[in-house]
């Protein structure tokens, strides 16, 4: 299964990459997918996204446009080809 | 009507009549809000309500285009309404010099522009208008980045569900540094989407997706949302 991971705004800036494709051969949790992404990028993205085992305040993780906070959070399973968007919203006005 | 000569025919008479009859609310008259208000007045939106409680501080002047250095220390509300009436004296502009709270009475409007600067207030606004079926053009900005989406009750989820954050913790961390062109770009996009909504151009309207812009790398990405 091919998973497209897309990064936006400050994450793209900090990590220097707009996205990547990860190939998995069995279902994984979103947490595991992020670890695989770190390996592939040769850069640990987990500290940018997760704090004390929870999604960092100010980070939104979407699987095919669905927020994982409204699913099983970091334990949400990825079991089909999909697009994962990692998006830190801007709060100012 | 001569002040509308450069866009009335472009929009079409029927569409112009729709925006000229429309009633909208702008929440916040800071960075996004002052540009949004400026454009709405120039477009000839019939009735504009806006809510703002703050005073003008020097750091506001890098992007809050309704205010000048001589206005420092005055309330944004007073300066904004005077400036907007100079821009277009032929429309109704109603200022509410107050902070939006859970008890705020929302006027009868066709559309709300979220120009607030924190998610705590945004969620309060969301809670006030979504159950009433009032749509909202949301935008947020920070440094070189911004996002925008249109919330339409019955067609999309509310803002709280689309952009879910722990508002209290998130607001403590908001980076107040801002590249001024991001603000005016996002405000322009808000008004553009607002006009599409008011004229019924749903095929081009940004709902069911979030536009994320990055002026540093010139990227405009759209994320589909459910």
The count of structural domains within chain A is: 1
Residue A92 lies in a domain: no
Please give the helix or strand (H or E) that residue A62 lies within, else none. strand A60-63
- Cα dihedral A67, A69, A73, A74, rounded to 10, equals 60
Q: Give the residue among A56, A89, A54 at the shortest CA–CA distance from A73.
A: A54
The SS3 assignment for A85 reads strand
On whether the CB atoms of residues B187 and B3 are closer than 8 A, the answer is no
The verdict on B215 touching A (C-beta cutoff 8 Å) is no
DSSP string, chain B: -GGGTTTHHHH-HHHHHHHHH-EEEEE--SHHHHHHHHHHHHHT-SEEEEE--PBP-GGGGGT-TT--GGGTTSBHHHHHHHHHHHH-TTSEEEEE-S---TTPPPP--SEEEE--SSHHHHHHHHHHHGGGT--EEEEEEEBTEEEEEEE-BTTB--HHHHS---HHHHHHH----B-HHHHHHHHHHHHHHHHHHHHT-TTS---SEEEEEETTTTEEEEEE--
> Over the stretch B149-180, which tens digit does the pLDDT of each residue have?
999 999 999 999 999 888 999 999 888 999 99
pLDDT digits (tens, 9 = 90+) for B195-222: 999 999 999 999 999 999 999 999 999 9
Query: Complex ipTM above 0.95?
Result: no
| Cα–Cα distance list, B190 to A11, B93, B110, B193 (Å) | 24, 19, 15, 5
Of B141, B163, B169, the CB nearest to A60: B163
Residues 22-61 (B) with a CB less than 8 A from some CB of A: 28, 30-33
pLDDT of residue B1: 79
How many alpha carbons fall within 13 Å on the CB side of residue B100? 29
CB B135 within 8 A of CB B200: no
pLDDT value of residue B61: 98
- Reported as a single tens digit per residue, the pLDDT across B40-92 is 999 999 999 999 999 999 999 999 999 999 999 999 999 999 999 999 999 99
Please count the residue pairs, one from chain A and one from chain B, whose beta carbons lie less than 8 angstroms apart: 98
Q: Helix (H, G, I), strand (E, B), or coil: what is residue A44?
A: coil
| Structure tokens that stand for B156 in this block | 């999309």
CATH number assigned to the domain comprising residue A76: 3.10.20.30
What band does B226 get if pLDDT is binned at 50, 70 and 90? confident
What is the CATH architecture of B2-224? 3-Layer(aba) Sandwich (3.40)
Q: What does the H/E/C string look like for B45-58?
A: CCEEEEECCCECCH
Range of the domain at A63: 2-87
The answer to whether A92 contacts B174, with C-beta atoms less than 8 Å apart, is: yes
Q: How many CA atoms lie within 13 A of B53 on its CB side?
A: 8
d(CA B186, CA A93): 10
Please give the mean pLDDT across all residues of chain A: 93
Is the pLDDT at A13 greater than 90? The verdict is no
B168 burial via Cβ count (<10 Å: 0-12, 13-18, 19+) = exposed
**Domain ranges (residues) in chain B:** 2-224
**DSSP at A74:** G
At B31, the pLDDT band (50, 70, 90 cuts) reads: very high
Q: How far is CA B201 from CA B16, B116, B191, B193, B196, in A?
A: 13, 25, 13, 9, 5
User: Is it the case that residue A15 has pLDDT exceeding 90?
Assistant: no
Q: Among B33, B117, B166, select the one facing A57 at the smallest CB separation.
A: B166
| A55 occurs within a structural domain | yes
Position A14 scores a pLDDT of: 85
Q: What is the DSSP string of A4-25?
A: EEEE-HHHHHHHT-SEEEEE-S
Residue A93 lies in a domain: no
State phi, psi for B150 to the nearest 5 degrees: -105, 125
| C-beta separation of A80 from A33 below 8 A | no
Task: Scan for tokens 């759209």, then name that residue.
Answer: B222
Say whether residue A16 is in contact with chain B using an 8 A CB cutoff.
no
Kindly report the average pLDDT of chain B as a whole number: 97
| Furthest C-alpha separation in chain B | 49
What pLDDT sits at residue B22? 98
pLDDT at A58 over 90: no
The residue among B189 and A47 whose pLDDT is bigger is B189
**Residues in chain A closer than 8 A to B219 (CB atoms):** 12, 18
């Amino acid at each position: 299964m091919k998973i497209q991971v897309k990064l936006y705004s400050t994450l793209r800036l900090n990590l220097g990459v707009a996205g990547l494709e990860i190939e998995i051969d069995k279902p994984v949790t979103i947490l595991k997918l992020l670890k695989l992404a770190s390996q592939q990028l040769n850069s640990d993205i987990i500290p940018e996204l997760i704090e004390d085992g929870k999604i960092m305040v100010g980070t939104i993780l979407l699987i095919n446009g669905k927020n994982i906070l409204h699913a099983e959070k970091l334990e949400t399973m990825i079991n089909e080809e999909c697009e994962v968007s990692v998006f830190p919203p801007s709060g100012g006005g | 009507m001569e002040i509308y000569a450069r866009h009335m025919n472009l929009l079409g008479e029927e569409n112009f009549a729709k925006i000229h009859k429309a009633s909208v609310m702008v929440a916040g008259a800071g960075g996004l809000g002052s540009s949004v208000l400026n454009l709405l007045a120039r477009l000839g939106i019939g009735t504009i309500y806006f809510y703002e409680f703050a005073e003008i501080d020097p750091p506001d002047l890098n992007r809050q285009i309704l205010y000048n250095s001589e206005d420092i220390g005055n309330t944004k509300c007073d300066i904004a309404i005077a400036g907007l009436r100079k821009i277009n004296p032929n429309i109704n502009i109603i200022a509410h010099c107050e902070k939006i709270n859970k008890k705020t009475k929302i006027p009868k409007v066709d559309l709300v522009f979220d120009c607030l600067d924190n998610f705590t207030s945004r969620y309060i606004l969301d809670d006030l208008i979504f159950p009433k079926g009032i749509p909202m053009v949301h935008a947020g900005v920070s440094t070189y980045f911004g996002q925008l989406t249109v919330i339409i009750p019955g067609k999309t989820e509310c803002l709280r569900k689309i952009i879910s954050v722990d508002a209290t913790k998130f607001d403590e961390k908001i980076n107040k540094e801002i590249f001024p062109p991001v603000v005016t770009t996002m405000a322009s996009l808000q008004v553009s989407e607002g006009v599409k909504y008011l004229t019924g151009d749903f095929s081009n309207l940004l709902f069911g997706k979030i536009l994320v812009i990055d002026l540093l790398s010139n990227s405009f990405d759209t994320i589909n949302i459910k």
